[in-house]
């Protein structure tokens, strides 16, 4: 976030509401063509603000032939650069096969909202809220099917950030400011009852009980008119307490205050019900560590992907060391950009040691600073080290950092030597691979872009294990999540995963990826062998445990599924939303219907297609009217979904399990 707009001398790009671009002096820059505006928007919202020319041509000129699309793109860029004026080259940089929007000279309103939604600073949140001024690219319609799909996905992603933003504001503000934040939250989706309850509570806390009760009546009328259902029990209970003048739950205490009482992983685990292994709720011993996101000291936002990749690689290296307990990357990334209190973070995550670092990368040189703290005991540094090397030495530095950490702990624990890990042979291939990590889950366009980058990485380094299993993921999820054809995506993904394991049989995630592909090839025994190998090679692989949970659901072992989820949540107590989707699915299969409802209503997963699982959980819990309401909300975004098609695509081993889900979906009112 820019701390003060008046001191910011760069460009401003506004994509919400009416498109506009302003120069450093404040004067408007007229961008006349709709596709030129769309091109700027696509670059701004792409991973690392970079996209290949081929992908851009497909998005904006896909209906034309390949040659015509390339020519149209060249002409569009020529016009755009002319309209941007003499300094236009500062905004768009041409790479060999890609274009990049330079975010060090231009600020984008959407990116400010996404970044601000993750803050705990009220001033930053207010500034981000002020940017929420209409729909993304409201006046840009270019009649290209791929662009329309991209735009729909980006709008959904942005709305999710706005939900997070206004929920956080409603938590931290007071009085009428809190009411205003809650009203904006409700305006995003009036049918979302959790938002309505936040507004009712805000009225109540402001001393406006009458307005809170009137809001309940509005909600009741709206739900009946639109969905033909009554408000949920939680909403009715809140209305009853307000009407009787009883104490209501009030706002949640700040997150940091909540964490002082217990580690984060305990709240994640207790939501699972009675099947949590007791050893997971015990504090991990001396060999436990979390690696905080390394700080990018390059002064170039483009290098953010490099420092994030460096952090992730060191986490992976440490995870492979027998005797260490290592927190997953997703949970430590939540601390990125926040003030560091290593003792508090250690309590949050249930670890003893915290590793911090920073990196500065130039074209040929690399400087890395790292320090290890005994955060649970004294908070004092155990050691600090600086590496000033050639950029090509990056993998040697990663190995050395891992050896230093292990050496500092091993004298007390006697852990095994650091296992050797496969390293890529080509630095450019490594950069492309790091850019592609986790892009499959963001949007169809991000997944397509990752596929293109990974194919290039394999051309540079045909023996690159990670590039192969990442590319396998883009293909399988291109089918499962983003509407691509099942074939050849599924069979190609299987071949790539098999090749990854051939290249490096000791790569835990390659084994896990192959297990997933074999599961969808209905080779359950072989899939289980790969999952077992993944955990044996890396007992800290939270991703593998979450994946195994789904395998157990498909294999008819729901109790084992819940136990696997518990292991995943202990290693990754701040997980991505799909963990909760799998958790809820495992709970439904295990008969924990009420627990599943709580899990599947978590904000991390609620607005996704997991709503169909929530509908099943509610129906099986006897809350049929609520189930039918959720089914209607799910079908509003997935009108072509059918029970028969879903069941046919799932790799159930036992016909009885397929029937269980078929009956649950029918009970919820989902179509055959």
The residue among 309, 283, 287, 277 whose CA lies nearest residue 296 is 309
Residue 625 and residue 661 share a domain: yes
Buried b (16+ CB within 10 A) or exposed e, 335-362: beeeeeebebbbbbbbbbbbbbbbbbbe
Average pLDDT on 396-425 reads 73
Asked, for residue 251, whether it belongs to a domain, the answer is no
List the strands of the sheet with 92-94, edge to edge.
Answer: 50-52, 98-101, 92-94
Q: How far apart are CA 28 and CA 41, in angstroms?
A: 17
Residue 222 and residue 124 share a domain: no
Q: What is the pLDDT confidence band of residue 126, given thresholds at 50, 70 and 90? A: very high
What is residue 589's predicted lDDT score, i.e. its pLDDT? 94
* Separation in Å, CA 161 to CA 115, 128, 600, 607: 9, 10, 18, 12
DSSP per residue, 360-383: EE-SSEEEEEEEEEETTTT-EEEE
What is residue 299's predicted lDDT score, i.e. its pLDDT? 66
pLDDT tens, position by position, 63-79: 787 888 889 998 998 89
Residue 613 and residue 465 share a domain: yes
Asked, for residue 420, whether it belongs to a domain, the answer is no
Structure letter (DSSP) for residue 48: G
Q: How far apart are CA 435 and CA 422, in angstroms?
A: 19
Give the CATH number for residue 470: 1.25.40.10
Asked, for residue 124, whether it belongs to a domain, the answer is yes
Residue 187 and residue 120 share a domain: no
211, 243, 275 — which closes off a domain? 243
Residue 308 and residue 184 share a domain: no
CA 553: distance to chain centroid?
23
Angle between helices 508-520 and 524-537 (to 10 degrees): 170
Please state the length of the chain: 672
Two structure tokens written together for 196: 């309505």
Asked, for residue 584, whether it belongs to a domain, the answer is yes
442 three-state secondary structure: coil
Q: What is the pLDDT confidence band of residue 278, given thresholds at 50, 70 and 90? A: low
Give the CATH number for residue 314: 3.40.50.10610
362, 379, 413 — which closes off a domain? 413
Contact 17, 131 (CB under 8 A): no
What is residue 121's predicted lDDT score, i.e. its pLDDT? 80
Structure letter (DSSP) for residue 244: T
Residue 94 CB partners (closer than 8 Å, separation 6+): none
Two structure tokens written together for 200: 């009712």
Question: Using omega within 30 degrees of 0 as the cis cutoff, is the peptide bond preceding 102 cis?
Answer: no
Residue 282 and residue 200 share a domain: no
Residue 201 and residue 271 share a domain: no
Residue 461 and residue 345 share a domain: no
Q: How far apart are CA 329 and CA 544, in angstroms?
A: 13
Q: What is the CA radius of gyration of the chain?
A: 25
Highest mean pLDDT among 137-151, 181-195, 329-343, 517-531: 517-531
> Could you tell me the sign of the dihedral formed by the alpha carbons of 264, 269, 272, 274, in that order?
negative
Residue 437 CB partners (closer than 8 Å, separation 6+): 309, 312, 470
Give the Cβ contact number of residue 442 at 10 Å: 15
Residue 179 and residue 206 share a domain: yes
Residue 560 CB partners (closer than 8 Å, separation 6+): 552
Pairing label, strands 353-361, 50-52:
unpaired
pLDDT tens, position by position, 212-243: 999 999 999 998 888 777 888 778 888 988 88
Asked, for residue 484, whether it belongs to a domain, the answer is yes
Query: Between the CA atoms of 658, 516, 309 and 151, what dihedral angle is there, to the nearest 10 degrees?
Result: -50
Residue 494 and residue 638 share a domain: yes
Asked, for residue 672, whether it belongs to a domain, the answer is no
Asked, for residue 651, whether it belongs to a domain, the answer is yes
Contact 186, 179 (CB under 8 A): no
* Separation in Å, CA 279 to CA 282, 284, 563: 5, 9, 12
Asked, for residue 307, whether it belongs to a domain, the answer is yes
* Domain range for 26: 5-150
Give the CATH number for residue 49: 1.10.10.10
356, 380, 413 — which closes off a domain? 413
Contact 34, 151 (CB under 8 A): no
Looking at the predicted structure, is the pLDDT value of residue 257 above 60? Answer: no
Two structure tokens written together for 467: 């590039």
Looking at the predicted structure, is the pLDDT value of residue 125 above 80? Answer: yes
What is the number of structural domains in the chain?
4
Residue 441 and residue 395 share a domain: no
Residue 123 and residue 235 share a domain: no
């Amino acid at each position: 976030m820019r701390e003060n707009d008046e001191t910011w001398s760069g460009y401003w790009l506004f994509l919400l509401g009416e498109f506009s671009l302003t120069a450093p002096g404040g004067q408007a820059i007229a961008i006349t063509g709709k596709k030129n505006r769309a091109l700027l928007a696509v670059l701004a919202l792409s991973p690392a603000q970079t996209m290949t020319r081929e992908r851009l041509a497909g998005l904006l000129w896909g209906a034309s032939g390949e040659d015509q699309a390339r020519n149209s793109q060249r002409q569009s860029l020529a016009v755009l650069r002319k309209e941007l004026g003499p300094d236009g080259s500062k905004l768009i940089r041409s790479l060999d096969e890609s274009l990049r929007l330079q975010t060090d000279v231009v600020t984008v309103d959407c990116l400010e909202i996404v970044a601000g939604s993750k803050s705990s600073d009220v001033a930053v949140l207010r500034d981000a809220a002020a940017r929420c001024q209409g729909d993304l690219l409201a006046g840009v319609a270019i009649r290209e099917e791929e662009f329309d799909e991209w735009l729909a996905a980006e709008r959904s992603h942005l709305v999710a950030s706005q939900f997070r933003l206004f929920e956080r504001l409603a938590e931290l503000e007071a009085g009428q400011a809190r009411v205003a934040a809650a009203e904006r939250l409700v305006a995003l989706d009036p049918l979302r009852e959790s938002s309505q309850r936040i507004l009712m509570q805000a009225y109540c806390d402001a001393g406006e009980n009458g307005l809170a009760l009137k809001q309940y009546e509005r909600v009741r009328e709206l739900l009946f008119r639109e969905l033909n259902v009554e408000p949920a029990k939680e909403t009715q209970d809140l209305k009853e307490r307000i009407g009787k003048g009883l104490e209501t739950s009030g706002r949640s205490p700040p997150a940091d205050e909540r964490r002082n009482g217990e580690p984060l992983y305990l709240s994640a685990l207790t939501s699972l019900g009675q099947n949590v292994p007791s050893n997971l709720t015990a504090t991990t011993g001396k060999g436990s560590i979390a690696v905080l996101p390394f700080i990018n000291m390059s002064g170039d936002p483009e290098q953010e992907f490099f420092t994030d990749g460096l952090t992730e690689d060191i986490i992976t290296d440490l995870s492979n060391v027998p005797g260490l307990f290592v927190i997953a990357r997703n949970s430590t990334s939540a601390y990125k950009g926040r003030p560091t209190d290593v003792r508090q973070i250690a309590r949050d995550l249930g670890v003893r040691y915290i590793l911090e670092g920073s990196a500065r990368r130039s074209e040929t040189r690399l400087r890395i600073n790292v320090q290890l703290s005994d955060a649970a005991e004294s908070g004092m540094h155990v050691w600090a080290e600086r590496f000033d090397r050639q950029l090509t030495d990056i993998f040697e530095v990663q190995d050395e950092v891992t050896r230093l950490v292990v050496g500092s702990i091993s004298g007390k624990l006697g852990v095994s030597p650091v296992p050797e890990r496969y390293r890529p042979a080509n630095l450019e291939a490594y950069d492309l691979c790091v850019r592609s990590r986790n892009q499959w889950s963001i949007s169809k366009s991000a997944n397509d872009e990752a596929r293109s980058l990974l194919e290039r990485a394999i051309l540079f380094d045909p023996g690159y294990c990670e590039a192969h299993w990442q590319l396998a993921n883009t293909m399988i999820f291109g089918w499962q999540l983003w509407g691509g054809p099942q074939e050849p995506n599924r069979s190609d993904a299987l071949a790539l995963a098999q090749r990854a394991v051939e290249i490096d049989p000791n790569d835990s995630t390659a084994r896990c990826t192959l297990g997933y592909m074999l599961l969808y090839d209905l080779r359950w025994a072989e899939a289980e062998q790969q999952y077992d190998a993944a955990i044996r090679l890396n007992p800290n692989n939270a991703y593998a445990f979450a994946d195994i949970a789904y395998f157990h659901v498909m294999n008819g072992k729901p109790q084992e599924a819940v136990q696997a989820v518990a292991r995943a949540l202990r290693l990754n107590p701040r997980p991505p939303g799909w963990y909760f989707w799998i958790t809820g699915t495992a709970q439904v299969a295990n008969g924990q219907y009420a627990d599943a409802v709580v899990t599947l209503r978590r904000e991390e997963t609620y607005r996704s297609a997991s709503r169909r699982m929530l509908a099943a959980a509610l129906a099986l819990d006897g809350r049929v009217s609520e189930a039918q309401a959720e089914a209607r909300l799910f079908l509003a975004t997935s009108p072509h979904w059918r029970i028969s098609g879903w069941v046919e695509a799932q790799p159930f081993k036992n016909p009885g399990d397929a029937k269980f889900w078929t009956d649950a979906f029918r009970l919820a009112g989902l179509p055959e």
